[in-house]
Amino acid sequence: MQKKLLILLLLCLPTIALSQVTLGQVDDFEDFTFSNWTKNSSIPNENIYDGGPLGDDDNFLRVTSSGSGSDLELMTKNNGQWNGDYYQGNLSDRIKYISMDVRNSGSNVIFLRIGFQTDYGLIYRCSTTNAIAVIPNEGWKRISFSILEDNITELSDPFNYAVTFGSSSQGVEEFRILHSSVPAWESEPIDAILDIDNIIAENQPLNVFDYEFNTELKIYPNPSEGVFTVSSNENITEDISYTITDVLGRTVRTGNSKINEEINIQDLNSGNYIVEIKNNSGEISRMKLIKK
C-alpha cells in the first residue's frame, strides 16, 4: 500500500526538465580541476598532474581517507555533470555501465562501489550490489560497474524504493564512489588512498587491460601536433605494427610502420591516446600519446 501511494505521489509531481548523462561522457581531469567531485571530510581531493594510467603528464583524481571520524570515509561525490536521466528515453542510448581507471596507492584493500540518490520531496538511494576489490600495489586497472536493475541494491528507508534507471526515472541527484564491504550509501572507515581517472558512461563494458609502459621505446614529439615517431635506444629500423586507442577504449587507427619512421595522425582529434606497438617477435609495448 505504501509503495502504491508513493508512486501516485511521484506521478502528481510537476514535470521537471532533466539533464541527460550521455554515452561516452568522460571525466579525465586533464583540466587540472576536480571536475565537480567533492567529499564530506576535511581532507580535500587532489588533482595529481601526472602518473595517471596513460603515464607522464596524465592527470588523475586522488581521494584520501585518514585520521578519525569523517576523515576515515573513503568517498567522493558528484552533484554536477553526472546528475540527470541515465535512460534517455530509449534502450539503445541507455547508460548501462560506469567504467573508470582506478589504482590503490595505499596499503589496505578497497571494496569499491558506486551509489545514486534522487530527491523529489522524498530521498531514494541505491548502491551496486557487488563491490570490486582494488588491491594495493597492482597499478592502474580499468573496472566497470553495471547499473542495470539486477545489479543494484535498494537502500532507502522506510519504502525500500530504489533509484530507477527506466523510462520513469526521476533522475539522479547525486552520484557517489565509495568504499564498503556491503551495499551502502556511506563509506566504511578505512585508511586508504584511491586514484581515479577516465570515469566513463557506456552501454557495454570497455575492454579491460593492465597498463604497461615500455622504457626502451619512446614516442616523440609528445605532445604531437600531427605526426609522431616511435624511437628506440638503439639505432634500428625494425618493422612494427601499431594500434591507437582513445580513452573510451575504441580503436581509432591501425597500421604498419618502422622504428624511427614518422606516423601521421593529422586527422585524429585532440586528446589522450594509447599507442600499442608490436614488433616482429610479437612483443607488445604500450605508450601514452597526447595529440594537440
Q: What is the pLDDT of residues 208-218, one digit of tens each?
A: 445 555 556 78
Separation of alpha carbons 16 and 10, rounded Å? 12
Note the pLDDT of residue 136.
92
C-alpha cell at 103: 589504482
Residue from 9, 81, 68, 2 nearest 38 by CA:
81
251 assigned to some structural domain = yes
Note the pLDDT of residue 91.
66
Same domain, yes or no: 169 and 250: no
Least confident stretch, 67-76, 85-94, 164-173: 164-173
141 assigned to some structural domain = yes
How many distinct structural domains can be found in the chain? 2
Same domain, yes or no: 137 and 246: no
Separation of alpha carbons 39 and 29, rounded Å? 16
Note the pLDDT of residue 7.
36
- Could you tell me the pLDDT band of residue 23, with boundaries at 50, 70 and 90? confident
Give start and end residues of each alpha helix (H) in the chain. Answer: 2-12
- What one-character DSSP code corresponds to residue 259? T
Could you tell me which residues are beta bridge partners of residue 111? 133
Which tens digits make up the pLDDT trace of 51-61?
998 888 899 99
Same domain, yes or no: 49 and 135: yes
C-alpha cell at 232: 628506440
- Could you tell me the pLDDT band of residue 15, with boundaries at 50, 70 and 90? very low
Same domain, yes or no: 115 and 54: yes
208 assigned to some structural domain = no
Same domain, yes or no: 23 and 153: yes
Q: Are 72 and 189 in contact (CB under 8 A)?
A: yes
For residue 265, the SS3 value is coil
Strands, DSSP E only, in the chain?
A: 26-27, 37-38, 46-48, 60-65, 75-78, 97-104, 110-119, 123-128, 132-134, 141-146, 152-154, 174-179, 192-202, 217-220, 227-232, 239-246, 251-258, 262-264, 271-279, 284-291
HSE-CB at 58 with a 13 A cutoff on CA atoms is 26
Same domain, yes or no: 184 and 226: no
Same domain, yes or no: 236 and 164: no
154 assigned to some structural domain = yes
The CATH number linked to 44 is: 2.60.120.260
Separation of alpha carbons 51 and 160, rounded Å? 42
Note the pLDDT of residue 90.
64
Name the residue range of residue 276's domain.
Answer: 217-291
Which tens digits make up the pLDDT trace of 188-244?
999 999 999 999 998 876 554 455 555 567 888 888 989 998 887 655 668 899 999
Note the pLDDT of residue 248.
67
**Residue 139: pLDDT over 50:** yes
C-alpha cell at 174: 547525486
**Residue 259: pLDDT over 50:** yes
Note the pLDDT of residue 285.
81
**Residue 35: pLDDT over 90:** yes
What does R_g of the chain's alpha carbons equal in angstroms?
Answer: 22
Note the pLDDT of residue 114.
96
